[in-house]
Amino acid sequence: MAPNYSSQMQGQLIKNHNSAFLQIMFINILLIILLFRCFLIIIQPKVIIKRKRIFQLQTPYTNRNKTASISQPLLCLTPSTHCSHPICNLDFLSFYSLQHQPLDNDRQSQRSNLSQKDQSYSYIPILTNPHEQMLLEQQQHLMDQGEDLKSQNKKLVFENNSLKKLVEQLSLELQSYRIQKSQELEMKAKIDYQEEMIVKLKSEVRRKADLIQENQFKVNELDRLQNKLEEYSGLTKKYQEQVILIQQLKEQAQDLNRELIQYQSTENENHNLKEYIEAYKQQIRDKDVKIQQQREQQEQLFSDNKKMKSTLDVLNFEFKKAQDGYNESLHRATIQNTELQGQLSLLQKNLTNQTHQIELQKQQVKQLELKEKELYTTKNQYLKLDEKFQAQTQQTIKQTKEIDKLHMTLKNGKQEYLNLQQKLMHLEQENKRLSEQSLQLSKSKNQLELQCQQLDQELIKKQGTLDTLQLKQMELKSNFEKCQGQMQGLENELKKKDTIILNLEQQLQAQKGQLEQITHIDTQNKSEINHNFAKMKEMHNDLILYEKQVKQINSENYQLKQQNQIIIERNAQQENEMKKMREQIMHQDNRIRYLENEIHNQSFQQKLTTARPIQSQEKGFQNQYPSSQQNTLQGSFNNQFNQYK
Q: What are the pLDDT digits (tens) for 245-258? A: 777 777 776 777 77
pLDDT score at 68: 41
Does some domain include residue 404?
A: yes
What span, in angstroms and rounded, lies between the C-alpha atoms of 280 and 539? 11
Q: Is residue 115 predicted with pLDDT exceeding 50?
A: no
What span, in angstroms and rounded, lies between the C-alpha atoms of 197 and 194? 5
Does some domain include residue 617?
A: no
The pLDDT > 70 percentage for the chain reads 47
Confidence category of residue 69, pLDDT binned at 50, 70, 90: very low
The number of domains in the chain is 1
Of 149-153, 377-381, 527-531, highest mean pLDDT? 149-153
What span, in angstroms and rounded, lies between the C-alpha atoms of 345 and 339? 10
Q: Is residue 88 predicted with pLDDT exceeding 50?
A: no
CA 402 to chain centre: 44
Q: Is residue 145 predicted with pLDDT exceeding 60?
A: yes
The mean-pLDDT minimum among 1-5, 14-18, 322-326, 341-345 falls in 1-5
Q: In sequence order, what are the beta bridge partners of 615?
A: none
Confidence category of residue 165, pLDDT binned at 50, 70, 90: confident
Burial class (CB in 10 A: 0-12, 13-18, 19+), 497: buried
Confidence category of residue 285, pLDDT binned at 50, 70, 90: confident
pLDDT score at 92: 40
- If residue 596 lies in a helix (H) or strand (E), which one and from where to where? helix 511-601
- Answer with the residue of higher pLDDT: 611 or 570: 570
Confidence category of residue 10, pLDDT binned at 50, 70, 90: low
Give, in degrees to the nearest 5, the angle at Cα 604 between 600 and 607. Answer: 130
Q: What is the mean pLDDT of residues 223-231?
A: 65
What span, in angstroms and rounded, lies between the C-alpha atoms of 454 and 458? 6
Does some domain include residue 257?
A: yes
pLDDT score at 554: 76
Does some domain include residue 603?
A: no
The mean-pLDDT minimum among 115-119, 277-281, 540-544 falls in 115-119
Q: Is residue 142 predicted with pLDDT exceeding 70?
A: yes
Q: pLDDT tens, 124-134?
A: 344 457 888 88
CB–CB of 85/124 below 8 Å? yes
CB–CB of 383/128 below 8 Å? yes
pLDDT score at 93: 41
Question: Which amino acid, residue 1?
Answer: M
Q: How far is CA 502 from CA 301, 306, 416, in A?
A: 10, 14, 18
Q: Is residue 512 predicted with pLDDT exceeding 70?
A: no
What span, in angstroms and rounded, lies between the C-alpha atoms of 444 and 447? 5
Q: In sequence order, what are the beta bridge partners of 78?
A: 122
- Answer with the residue of higher pLDDT: 101 or 604: 604
Mean pLDDT, all residues of the chain: 67
Please, where are the H alpha helices in 462-510? 468-506
Question: Which amino acid, residue 231?
Answer: E
pLDDT score at 230: 64
Sequence-separated (6 or more) residues with CB below 8 Å from residue 570? 219, 222
Q: If you ran DSSP here, which 8-state letter would residue 609 be given?
A: -
What span, in angstroms and rounded, lies between the C-alpha atoms of 126 and 72? 9
Closest CA to 469 of 414, 548, 535, 561: 548
Closest CA to 548 of 442, 418, 455: 455
Q: Is residue 186 predicted with pLDDT exceeding 80?
A: yes
pLDDT score at 313: 72
Confidence category of residue 629, pLDDT binned at 50, 70, 90: very low
What span, in angstroms and rounded, lies between the C-alpha atoms of 11 and 5? 10
- Answer with the residue of higher pLDDT: 170 or 23: 170
- If residue 33 lies in a helix (H) or strand (E), which one and from where to where? helix 2-71
pLDDT score at 75: 37
What span, in angstroms and rounded, lies between the C-alpha atoms of 504 and 516? 12
What span, in angstroms and rounded, lies between the C-alpha atoms of 274 and 269? 9
Per DSSP, the residues of 369-399 read: HHHHHHHHHHHHHHHHHHHHHHHHHHHHHHH
Q: Is residue 113 predicted with pLDDT exceeding 60?
A: no
What span, in angstroms and rounded, lies between the C-alpha atoms of 367 and 274? 126
Q: Is residue 83 predicted with pLDDT exceeding 50?
A: no
pTM: 0.19
Which value, in Å, is the radius of gyration of the alpha carbons in the chain? Answer: 59
- Per-residue three-class SS string for 62-113: HHHHHHHHHHCCCCEEECCCCCCCCCCCHHHHHHHHHHCHHHHHHHHHHHHH
What span, in angstroms and rounded, lies between the C-alpha atoms of 422 and 512? 12
Of 73-77, 222-226, 560-564, highest mean pLDDT? 560-564
Does some domain include residue 225?
A: yes
pLDDT score at 121: 39
Does some domain include residue 282?
A: yes
Does some domain include residue 73?
A: no
Q: Is residue 61 predicted with pLDDT exceeding 60?
A: no
Does some domain include residue 419?
A: yes
The pLDDT > 90 percentage for the chain reads 0
Question: Which amino acid, residue 140?
Answer: Q
pLDDT score at 347: 67
Q: For residue 22, what are the domain limits?
A: 2-59+134-568
pLDDT score at 60: 45
The mean-pLDDT minimum among 34-48, 90-104, 429-443 falls in 90-104
